[in-house]
Amino acid sequence: MKFSIIIPVYNSEKYIKRCLDSIISQNCDDIEIIVINDGSTDSTMEILKEYKKNHLKIYSIENSGVSSARNYGLSLAKGDFIVFVDSDDFLADNFFDEIRKIDLQFGNIYVFNYQVLNNNIIKNKVSSNQIVEISKEDAIEYSIKSNSNPYKRTRFNTVWGKIYDKKLLNNVKFDGKITIGEDTLFFCEAALVSEKVIYVDKLMYYYFNNNNSLTHSYNEKMLINEIYWHKKLEKLFDKFNIKNKHKLIKYTKLKGLLNVIILYVLTNPIQSIQKKRMRIKELSTEQHYRGINIDAKILKEFNFKDKCILVLLKLKLYYFIVILYSFKKMNFKNKEKNP
């Protein structure tokens, strides 16, 4: 068996057909499709049963999160290479035809282009088919600091849009305690035990931009998640003696603080402006974030929006952070009403 396609599924009745059709319609017999139904409560399971004739391997588990579902899929996989696909995304219709043109080598990770799908509109981008070997250190930096990634058609901080040699993943697993950032941690660890990380300039994956996902919504456990995630990353860097680890740790701490401010404070639907201001002030003195110097050098690493928040944070203008976010959110809603 050459490829194992692992698809975690939870309440995906709207999109799972599109996802599965993109795989089974292709000319490739040397694959197994492993679908892990993570306790769906909608009609997902009924839809999956319709595909049994297409040799899908369907497993149901109690709802325990995408990390547990992926880990279970990995434990069942028999292929030489692993491909992760999210249930609301889909593969390019020439995925396996293009893969056959690549001399896949064991011990490597292959990273491909993706395209965001909005309102079912697809505009294919021209690819160069260029193949580039990337150092592990650079791949990890691109995963953690998306602004530094020169390969703008792809993302290194996801598990999808890639092919992994299965042997690399024998001791690499998703951490079920992490709800946001588990992909980044998984990719970093896999990259560190790989022989090579290889970028292939081919459009192979379509990503559905879901604004209702966890990465856009209020999360009451965000602070706990972020601190735990960061400590695991530090241990990983120490274990493999990563270059520039102090610089990366500083960046990830500030990025983590921004994530907490947005997803734990600013998106809170019930807190008043005053309470949000006070909570941001408290976070700035939280032991994990205390003493981080927000200087001009580190600010260059962030996009304009993040820079604004960090500068206001440095100046202790917490109230203006709340107002800035509220204004941005209001402006976004107006654009939705009047496109």
Domain boundaries, the chain: 3-208, 217-337
At residue 122, the pLDDT reads 56
At residue 216, the pLDDT reads 59
Can you tell me the distance from the alpha carbon of 117 to that of 237, in angstroms, rounded to the nearest whole number? 34
Residues 6+ apart with CB under 8 A from 316: 281, 284
At residue 339, the pLDDT reads 45
Q: Considering all CA atoms of the chain, what is the largest pairwise distance in Å, rounded to the nearest integer?
A: 62
Residue 305's Cβ-side half-sphere holds a number of Cα atoms within 13 Å equal to 12
Can you tell me the distance from the alpha carbon of 203 to that of 197, in angstroms, rounded to the nearest whole number? 17
Q: Are 48 and 19 in contact (CB under 8 A)?
A: no
Please write the tens of the pLDDT for every residue from 128-184: 789 999 999 999 999 999 889 999 899 999 999 999 999 999 999 999 999 899 999
3-state helix, strand, coil in the chain (%, to 5): 45, 20, 35
Can you tell me the distance from the alpha carbon of 288 to that of 257, in angstroms, rounded to the nearest whole number? 9
Nearest Cα neighbor of 328 from 311, 305, 310 is 305
Q: How far is CA 42 from CA 46, 87, 89, in A?
A: 9, 14, 18
Q: Are 143 and 184 in contact (CB under 8 A)?
A: yes
pLDDT in tens, the chain (339 residues): 699 999 999 999 999 999 999 999 998 889 999 999 999 999 999 999 998 777 789 999 999 999 999 999 999 999 999 999 999 999 999 999 999 999 999 999 999 999 988 755 555 566 778 999 999 999 999 999 988 999 989 999 999 999 999 999 999 999 999 989 999 999 999 999 999 999 999 999 999 987 555 455 788 899 999 999 999 999 999 999 998 899 999 999 999 999 999 999 999 999 999 999 999 999 998 999 988 999 999 999 999 989 999 999 999 999 999 998 887 664 544 444 444
Q: How far is CA 168 from CA 8, 106, 171, in A?
A: 20, 9, 7
Give the distance from CA 284 to its chain's centroid: 26
CATH architecture of residue range(s) 3-208: Alpha-Beta Complex (3.90)
Can you tell me the distance from the alpha carbon of 273 to that of 44, in angstroms, rounded to the nearest whole number? 40
**Burial zone of 13 (CB within 10 Å; 0-12 exposed, 13-18 middle, 19+ buried):** middle
Q: Are 3 and 81 in contact (CB under 8 A)?
A: yes
At residue 156, the pLDDT reads 96
At residue 328, the pLDDT reads 65
Nearest Cα neighbor of 179 from 134, 220, 123, 125 is 220
At residue 52, the pLDDT reads 78
The token pair at 185 is 């941690």
**Burial zone of 293 (CB within 10 Å; 0-12 exposed, 13-18 middle, 19+ buried):** exposed
